[in-house]
């Protein structure tokens, strides 16, 4: 009896306070720090949103029309029940705009008074931070909510207003996004910059000098434009006396990078760990929700005094006082938002964590970067030796670390380090070398080098560019990059390098200058963001007809307006109205405009019969077309092959695609034919069609590969058609996505759950099931009347 009373008392305590967070992992961590008086539940993200396939915005006042998705109904039901039992409800979603909106939606759906409901926020999920937040609750910040609503509604206006224009003018099922379209434009323009780049050659002169057993590598501080000039210089060096004219030594200091923001974490994790942007955010989210790191969506480089003190203690204890230097960094990113802390470990004395490999690797990166930011500068000594050579001079440089400082823990990486025209470190320098010392040359090389064009973006460098332009925010970078790939406008892939020939001139003592033709592979790129044909055509269309939507400054200024709304300085509905009043008439104008040719169409020439050959985006992707709709003969179409592009395909390559249909041979005494149709390339055998898998080249597929596809299709077909009846040819048992069902005279009927094995049904039993369901349908029809 006493035990029952205790249990009842405990249940009452648990129901006293209800804390709602957005994820189960976060709920689990919070429960560790709060006592029995608190029950922690998760909303599993947003509990309300705009309808998926509906505009859901009232254009009179731009009020959004929200709905509770079907998959969230059970969650909402349990939260409502818990909220009614609790004395106090605490909303503890993340403290950015998205988190504020989640809290507001919860208040609306759970009928909590917005002005009185307790809202708590924290940068980190630690006992100290949580208890402090409970002591200092605030109200829901409607300005932050409005900023989130403004972004959501504006994106919906752009999507639902522009997309129909793309459907009509380009291709069905295309979509346009406000920030995503700008990201695609960056990638398309970079690709065009690369295509337009004209490489220039020059000759780089390097030498190896000797003095006794000492070797010294040096580079000439001048390059030559032609082989003739480089050859003349090497000839002039044959009998030249080389002597050191100057040795300078100067101290160099290197300072550590600031602690991580969202974008710098995404960039460094890509370079050092090979993580994608979305992978980094997913792993960081798990670390945050487990209470291991601070909030991972931030553009601040600020560190709390608690972190500064614990970092200082950690450095002094393990490395000594000389390695410690307290620093506080300032945020300089364009349009920085919300005064969060930088991303850091919650406890600096926790060097290792018990977690997955990906979580351990990312945590190690964050821990080292945070610690290094509070360490002393690295001290180096840079030595420069000058060796005159006529009007130019050879220069040898070397840097020696005299005190490693923060480098003891961490070295920052950079994107695509490549050869530049600046002087590079040429190795170590012997301390015995002195001014006036005579040197012999071991060899002098003149190597033809080519200027490098701009590099394609990878995910990390695109995030850096977006941040630099003030486009997007820490919470949106990963979404932007994943969305443009999901829509098929951009793909992540590799670009194979090309073989490039170059000339090498070599001078050795007592020998003539030797000339050699060499080759190397240049331009090999991995994991880059490449525009697809559809992405390029959509971008060109938007740039031509909707320049403001894809204008970099316009998009950055829109972000600033969201910031103004978040600070209560601008009315969000007025901003929506101003935007819509400009966009809607422009869409109408473009829709009613007649094009002289298909948008994105490129004319390649004519075929041997004199018919026009064009390439364009068709209903099912990029296609080559022979002929026009006005010709007597119907136009012919062929889809582009793998690796082919609308921008670069030639007339000969296009005509090659029309070698289909082609007969591969025979199987079961029938021809196996490869053809191309409206839905792409296919195998035809015994009047049955099988689509070729995506990426399969119809001109390269072999007979064996085609037979394998035919057999695979037959197997799948057999699994689908479970049973047929000779006495009832129109009756069949089919295996569908959701299990077996009956089909009879063009109508489908479900099989009752009481039937365990559908294949055991007789035709009579099937007809009884059909009769029963048809009877119910008639009854419903009469009751409606």
Q: Is 400 within 8 Å of 225 (Cβ atoms)?
A: no
> So what's the pLDDT on residue 53?
80
Check residue 11 and give its pLDDT: 44
For the cut 80, the answer to whether the pLDDT of residue 338 exceeds it is no
Average pLDDT of span 135-156: 94
What is the pLDDT averaged over residues 365-377?
A: 96
Taking the C-alpha atoms of residue 666 and residue 680, their distance in angstroms, rounded to an integer, is 22
3-state secondary structure of 589: helix
87-96, 157-166, 774-783: the lowest-pLDDT one: 774-783
Q: Per mean pLDDT, which range of 94-108, 151-165, 451-465, 598-612 is the poorest?
A: 598-612
pLDDT in tens, 544-599: 999 988 999 998 999 999 999 999 999 999 999 999 999 999 999 998 887 656 67
Q: Tell me 779's DSSP state.
A: H
Q: Which of 222, 211, 206, 213 is nearest to 244 (CA)?
A: 211
Average pLDDT for residues 145-166, to the nearest whole number? 92
- Look at residue 426 in the predicted model and tell me its pLDDT: 55
Decide if pLDDT at 631 tops 90: no
**Residue 4, pLDDT score:** 46
What mean pLDDT comes out for the span 3-31?
Answer: 70
How confident is the model over 701-725, as a mean pLDDT? 85
Q: What is the pLDDT of residue 311?
A: 95
d(C-alpha 245, C-alpha 82), whole Å: 84
Question: CA–CA separation, 686 vs 665, rounded Å?
Answer: 13
CA nearest neighbour of 387 among 217, 566, 236:
217
> Which band of pLDDT confidence, cut at 50, 70 and 90, is reported for residue 416?
low
Least confident stretch, 226-230, 243-247, 297-301, 313-317: 297-301
Both tokens of 13, joined, read 């305590």
Q: Kindly indicate the confidence band of residue 6, based on its pLDDT and cuts at 50, 70 and 90.
A: very low
Helix ranges (DSSP H) in 88-175: 97-109, 127-135, 142-169
DSSP lists the bridge partners of residue 626 as: 613, 636
> Is 713 in contact with 690 (CB distance < 8 Å)?
yes
Q: What is the DSSP letter of 457?
A: P
Tokens representing 645?
């592009």
What string of DSSP letters covers 169-232? Answer: HT-TT----HHHHHHHHHHHHHHHHHHH----EEEEEEEEEEETTEEEEEEES--BSSHHHHHH
**Quick one: which H or E segment has residue 653?**
helix 651-656
Token couple for 649: 């395909």
> How far, in Å, CA of 625 to CA of 657, rounded?
10
CA-CA-CA-CA torsion sign (651, 657, 660, 666): positive
pLDDT of 753 = 84
At residue 333 the predicted structure's pLDDT band, cuts being 50, 70 and 90, is low
737: left (phi over 0), alpha (psi -120 to 50) or beta: alpha
| 307-321, 332-346, 411-425, 447-461: segment of lowest average pLDDT | 411-425
Residue 737 pLDDT > 80, yes or no?
no
> CB-based contacts of 67: which residues, under 8 Å, 6+ apart?
48, 49, 50, 51, 56
Nearest to 502 by CA among 703, 135, 707, 201: 201
Contact in structure between 444 and 173 (CB atoms under 8 Å): no
| Percent of the chain with pLDDT strictly greater than 90 | 56
Segment 80-92 shows an average pLDDT of: 93
CA 422, CA 400: separation in Å to the nearest integer?
19
Q: Which pLDDT score is estimated for 678? A: 63
pLDDT at 784 over 50: no
More confident residue, 549 or 424: 549
Output the pLDDT for position 421. 42
Return the closest-CA partner of residue 265 out of 134, 413, 57.
Answer: 413
Q: Which helix (H) or strand (E) holds 443?
A: strand 438-450
Average pLDDT over residues 357-385: 96
DSSP class of 623: E
Tell me the mean pLDDT in the region 38-66: 91
Rounded-to-integer distance, Cα 675 and Cα 692, Å: 10
Query: What positions carry a catalytic annotation?
Result: 295
Region 49-63: what's the mean pLDDT? 89
pLDDT at 711: 87
Q: How many helices (H) and strands (E) does the chain have?
A: 20, 29
What secondary structure letter does DSSP report for 221?
S
Q: What span, in angstroms and rounded, lies between the C-alpha atoms of 279 and 259? A: 20
- pLDDT band at 8; cut points 50, 70, 90: very low
DSSP string covering 538-588: HHHHHHHH-TTTT-HHHHHHHHHHHHHHHTT-S-HHHHHHHHHHHHHHHHH
Sign, CA torsion 567/569/574/576: negative
What is the average pLDDT across 382-388?
Answer: 95
Percent of the chain with pLDDT over 70: 93
Which pLDDT value is given to residue 335? Answer: 47
| Model confidence band, residue 632 (pLDDT cutoffs 50, 70, 90) | confident
pLDDT, greater one: 402 or 9: 402
The pLDDT of residue 776 is: 65
The pLDDT of residue 7: 43
- For the segment 176-190, the average pLDDT, to the nearest whole number, is 93
Average of per-residue pLDDT across 723-736:
87
Residue 425 — very low, low, confident or very high, per pLDDT cuts 50/70/90?
Answer: low
Q: What is the mean pLDDT of the chain?
A: 88
The pLDDT assigned to 21 comes to 94
| pLDDT score of 111 more than 90 | yes
* pTM for this predicted structure: 0.79
Q: What is the pLDDT of residues 201-211, one digit of tens each?
A: 999 999 999 98
């Amino acid at each position: 009896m006493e035990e029952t009373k205790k249990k009842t008392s405990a249940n009452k305590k648990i129901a006293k306070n209800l804390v709602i967070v957005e994820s189960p992992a976060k709920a689990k961590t919070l429960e560790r720090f709060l006592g029995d008086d608190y029950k922690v539940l998760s909303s599993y993200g947003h509990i309300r949103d705009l309808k998926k396939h509906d505009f859901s915005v009232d254009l009179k006042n731009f009020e959004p029309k929200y709905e509770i998705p079907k998959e969230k109904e059970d969650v909402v039901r349990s939260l409502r029940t818990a909220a009614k039992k609790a004395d106090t409800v605490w909303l503890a979603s993340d403290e950015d705009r998205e988190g504020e909106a989640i809290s507001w939606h919860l208040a609306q759906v759970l009928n909590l008074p917005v002005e009185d409901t307790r809202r708590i926020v924290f940068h980190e999920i630690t006992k100290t931070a949580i208890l402090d937040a409970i002591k200092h609750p605030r109200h829901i910040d409607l300005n932050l909510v409005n900023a989130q609503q403004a972004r959501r509604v504006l994106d919906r206006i752009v999507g639902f207003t522009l997309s129909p224009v793309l459907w009509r003018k380009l291709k069905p099922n295309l979509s346009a996004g406000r920030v995503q379209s700008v990201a695609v434009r960056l990638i398309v323009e970079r690709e065009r910059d690369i295509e337009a780049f004209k490489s220039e050659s020059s000759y780089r002169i390097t030498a190896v000098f000797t003095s006794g057993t000492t070797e010294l590598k040096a580079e000439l501080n001048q390059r030559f434009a032609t082989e003739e000039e480089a050859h003349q210089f090497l000839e002039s060096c044959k009998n030249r006396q080389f002597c050191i004219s100057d040795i300078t030594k100067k101290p160099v200091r290197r300072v550590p990078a600031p602690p991580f923001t969202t974008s710098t974490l995404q960039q460094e994790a890509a370079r050092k760990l090979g993580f994608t942007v979305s992978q980094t955010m997913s792993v960081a989210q798990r670390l945050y929700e487990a209470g291991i790191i601070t909030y991972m969506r931030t553009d601040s480089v600020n560190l709390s005094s608690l972190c500064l003190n614990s970092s200082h203690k950690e450095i002094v204890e393990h490395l000594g006082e000389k390695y410690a230097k307290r620093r506080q960094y300032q945020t300089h990113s364009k349009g920085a938002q919300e005064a969060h802390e930088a991303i850091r470990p919650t406890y600096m004395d926790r060097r290792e964590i018990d977690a997955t490999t990906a979580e351990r690797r990312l945590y190690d990166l964050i821990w080292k970067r945070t610690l290094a930011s509070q360490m002393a500068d690295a001290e180096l000594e840079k030595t420069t030796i000058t060796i005159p050579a006529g009007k130019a001079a050879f220069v040898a440089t070397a840097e020696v670390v005299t005190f490693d400082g923060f480098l003891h823990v961490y070295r920052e990486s950079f994107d695509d380090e490549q050869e530049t025209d600046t002087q590079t470190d040429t190795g170590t320098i012997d301390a015995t070398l002195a001014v006036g010392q005579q040197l012999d040359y071991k060899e002098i090389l003149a190597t033809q080098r080519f200027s490098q064009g701009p590099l394609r973006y990878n995910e990390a460098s695109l995030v850096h560019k977006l941040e630099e332009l003030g486009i997007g925010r820490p919470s949106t970078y990963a979404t932007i990059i994943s969305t443009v790939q999901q829509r098929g406008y951009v793909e992540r892939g590799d670009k194979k390098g090309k073989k490039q020939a170059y000339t090498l001139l070599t001078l050795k003592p007592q020998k003539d200058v030797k000339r050699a033709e060499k080759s190397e592979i240049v331009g090999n790129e991995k994991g880059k963001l490449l525009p697809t044909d559809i992405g390029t055509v959509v971008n060109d269309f938007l740039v031509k007809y909707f320049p403001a939507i894809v204008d970099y400054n316009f998009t950055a200024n829109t972000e600033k307006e969201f910031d103004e709304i978040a600070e209560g300085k601008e009315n969000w509905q007025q901003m929506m109205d101003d935007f819509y009043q400009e966009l809607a008439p422009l869409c109408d104008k473009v829709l009613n405009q007649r094009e002289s040719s298909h948008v994105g169409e490129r004319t390649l020439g004519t075929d041997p019969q004199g018919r026009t050959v064009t390439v364009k985006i068709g209903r099912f992707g990029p296609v080559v077309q022979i002929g026009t709709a006005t010709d007597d003969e119907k136009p012919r179409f062929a889809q582009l092959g793998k690796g082919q592009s609308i921008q670069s395909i030639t007339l000969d390559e296009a005509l090659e695609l029309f070698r289909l249909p082609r007969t591969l041979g025979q199987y079961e005494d029938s021809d196996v034919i490869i053809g191309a149709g409206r839905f792409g390339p296919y195998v035809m055998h015994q009047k049955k069609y099988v689509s070729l898998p995506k990426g399969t080249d119809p001109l390269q597929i072999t007979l064996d590969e085609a037979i394998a596809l035919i057999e695979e299709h037959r197997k799948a077909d057999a699994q689908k058609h479970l049973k047929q009846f000779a006495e009832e040819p129109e009756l069949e048992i089919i295996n569908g996505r959701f299990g077996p069902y009956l089909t009879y005279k063009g109508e489908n009927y479900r099989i009752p759950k009481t039937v365990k094995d559908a294949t055991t049904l007789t035709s009579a039993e099937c007809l009884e099931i059909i009769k029963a369901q048809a009877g119910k349908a008639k009854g419903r029809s009469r009751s409606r009347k």
